[in-house]
Structure 1
Amino acid sequence: MTEHLSNTAEGLSRAASLLRDGALVAFPTETVYGLGADAGNDRAVARIYEAKGRPSFNPLIVHLADLDAVKALVEWSSEADAVAEAFWPGPLTLVLPLRPGAPVSKLVTAGLDTLAVRLPAAPVAQALLRETARPVAAPSANRSGHISPTRAEHVAASLGDRVDAILDGGPCSVGLESTILGLAGRPTLLRPGGITIEALSHVLGQRIAERHETDKISAPGQTRSHYAPNALVRLNAVDFEDGEARLGFGDVDCDLNLSPGEDLTEAAANLFEYLHRLDATGAARIAVSPIPHIGLGVAINDRLSRAAADR
């Protein structure tokens, strides 16, 4: 039976105790809810893959409480220092060379010699990580390939009793997974997210390379079909067809509107919540208005294209 914990001192203490004992605990970050496990516990990490139905070749992000904890696991660099100072804590994941002997399960890295690390900004996530005092591996707390969860009830609906506890911290403020920046060689955008490639390029003073779809998987969230509702998804819909659930953007007649005022930050925050709501109507297809492919729109379109991919 899944424990439902509130964001109180008692709830945080219980969640941290469960994590240290090898349990799976879903908790909120500013991006989405994560399915957390002790990153050094092989059995606990294996349970993440089992609970999500996640391919074992897909690596996990490790969440940490502070920079010292990060540097104990990875080979740090001046480039990492620059972007961490600018954007941490926050919705940015860095992929760096794994430090020899780092106490991280090989299941977390999926056999790679790099590790994805992040300092989340959400106060409840920070408090939980400090209380747990261990690295916590945490992909999104949903069945693999399905819509990411931005509320505790999304986690419960997707994972049921596969998760030992859900720490309810309310809705996620960003609502879109973190940007992933590879720093194991030339700085490369591995997954777009809440921090734009333009902002990262500005901080590093150089143009950042972008991953190609044909490249091998090197970070979470790179599988072709991902973030998908049960309904089929039709993108760039300038008009809607009978029987479709209508997800709009801007001045358009629709069932739910990501942002009537065309605010991409608002649209990102609403994306997964609104996909959950429209999918719950039982519609066979969800049609989505065009989203500008600039700034945060790049990350939104990335999630939508994976949601619409062949399954």
Structure 2
Amino acid sequence: MKYFFLWREKQDASRDSASGSGDFIKKNQIVALPTETVYGLAGRAESVEAVEKIYEVKRRPISNPLIVHYATQEMALKDGVLCEQGKKLVKKIWPGPLTVVVDKSPDSRVVSLAHCGLASFAIRVPNHPVMHYILNQVGPLAAPSANPSGGVSPTTAEHVHQAFSGTVPVLDAGPCVIGVESTIIDLRFYPFSILRPGYWTLEKLLKEFPDISFQEAQSSDIITPGTSFQHYSPKKPLFLNVSPPFDLEMGIIGFGPLQGDLPTQPFVQLSVKKNIEEAARNIFSALHYLDRSEKCLSIGIVPIPSYGIGAAINDRLTRAALKDHS
């Protein structure tokens, strides 16, 4: 087992750890790396061997495409075909938590397995210094979330370590600052379709880009990650919009002050001040914690408002609660 650590307070140790991870990836191995959204299971996007390992380790259906990450806008725009409106969008947001589905350039060296042989593929430029450092070392990386397929997304290195029982090397850069996956927008057709909500909500996009048209996606076809109906699921049954009195065998995820005494069973507070972005940073950690707790048999979460990034939180929770636990 290899387990890389990144000590942010020690610059030399940080570079040594990141360089070691980059060398590992150059050999077509896979490493869990931090982004601003969640930890990703990264391998060279130009290597069939590396991409095959991602699918194998995640036990991911071969029909579910991956997101390809780039170090710079210029590199991403060289591989993807974007219209002028699409270029305007990504140039203002990248690097950042936005993934776009575009047609793939004939000159791209990204292997077709990374996007399931489709003419289109999903690309983004992440905003994280560690990921950026390694992308500059090794080139484009296919990097879905670093967890078994369909499971709870990881926002810390420990989540990755637990999910794969220590068998996957992970570069620890602390908790992810956003906490839910990137917004995904289909730029192939106009108006642009939001395929998966994230930090860049419809309201925020319309405010920042009033001359660009966006719509919520209508199609259920899987052309990009994270849009299958069942996803992000804990092993325990998950129940949404619970309220007191709580089932005593249920671990509770709260948002804001609760009326009366705190539950006697395991309880995790997403944000006592009802800060929706704080809740987004904490939601996957809360699910991981209660899923591992021996003091509850199921998980219940109080209502989460859908304003701002709350739309992304509720998207993930709705998909997570669909798992058949019978």
What TM-score do the two structures reach when normalised by structure 2? 0.91
Do residues 277 (structure 1) and 265 (structure 2) align? no
Give the match for residue 176 of structure 2: 172
Query: What secondary structure, in the 3-state scheme, does the structure 2 residue paired with 1:305 have?
Result: helix
Matched ranges for 1:220-239 at <5 A? 220-239=225-244
Q: Check whether the contact 1:26–1:36 (CA below 8 A) recurs between aligned residues.
A: yes
Q: State the 1:162 CA deviation.
A: 4.5
Residue from 23, 28, 37 that aligns with 1:22:
28
Q: State the 1:26 CA deviation.
A: 0.6
Deviates more, 1:49-58 or 1:274-283: 274-283
Greater Rg by CA: 2
Residue from 100, 118, 125 that aligns with 1:119:
125
Query: What secondary structure, in the 3-state scheme, does the structure 2 residue paired with 1:95 have?
Result: strand
Q: Check whether the contact 1:83–1:204 (CA below 8 A) recurs between aligned residues.
A: no
Q: Check whether the contact 1:79–1:204 (CA below 8 A) recurs between aligned residues.
A: no
Unaligned runs of 5+ in 2: 8-13
Do residues 38 (structure 1) and 44 (structure 2) align? yes
Q: Check whether the contact 1:61–1:139 (CA below 8 A) recurs between aligned residues.
A: yes
Unaligned runs of 5+ in 1: none
Amino acid at match of 1:302: D
Q: State the 1:161 CA deviation.
A: 5.1
How far apart, in 1, do the equivalents of 2:46 and 2:163 lie? Answer: 25
How far apart, in 1, do the equivalents of 2:311 and 2:129 lie? Answer: 27
Do residues 92 (structure 1) and 98 (structure 2) align? yes
Q: Check whether the contact 2:4–2:21 (CA below 8 A) recurs between aligned residues.
A: no
Matched ranges for 1:79-158 at <5 A? 79-132=85-138, 134-158=139-163
Amino acid at match of 1:280: R
Q: Check whether the contact 2:41–2:143 (CA below 8 A) recurs between aligned residues.
A: yes
Residue from 77, 81, 84 that aligns with 1:71:
77
Residue from 142, 165, 184 that aligns with 1:160:
165
Give the match for residue 316 of structure 2: 303
Q: Check whether the contact 2:37–2:176 (CA below 8 A) recurs between aligned residues.
A: yes
Q: State the 1:73 CA deviation.
A: 0.9
How far apart, in 2, do the equivalents of 1:269 and 1:161 lie? Answer: 24
Q: State the 1:80 CA deviation.
A: 2.1
Query: What secondary structure, in the 3-state scheme, does the structure 2 residue paired with 1:62 have?
Result: strand
What TM-score do the two structures reach when normalised by structure 1? 0.95
Residues 67-99 of structure 1 show CA distances to partners (whole Å, capped at 9, x for unaligned) of 111022111222222222332111111111111
Q: State the 1:15 CA deviation.
A: 1.0
Residue from 261, 268, 274 that aligns with 1:262:
274
How far apart, in 1, do the equivalents of 2:323 and 2:291 lie? Answer: 17
Q: How many matched pairs?
A: 308
Give the match for residue 11 of structure 2: none
Give the match for residue 55 of structure 1: 61
Amino acid at match of 2:170: I
Do residues 294 (structure 1) and 307 (structure 2) align? yes
Residues 1-41 of structure 1 show CA distances to partners (whole Å, capped at 9, x for unaligned) of 23324251111111111111100011100100000000010
Q: Check whether the contact 1:12–1:131 (CA below 8 A) recurs between aligned residues.
A: no
Give the match for residue 208 of structure 1: 214
Q: Percent identity among equivalent residues?
A: 39
How far apart, in 2, do the equivalents of 1:210 and 1:56 lie? Answer: 26
How far apart, in 2, do the equivalents of 1:87 and 1:247 lie? Answer: 32
How far apart, in 2, do the equivalents of 1:23 and 1:161 lie? Answer: 15
Amino acid at match of 1:179: T
Query: What secondary structure, in the 3-state scheme, does the structure 2 residue paired with 1:97 have?
Result: strand
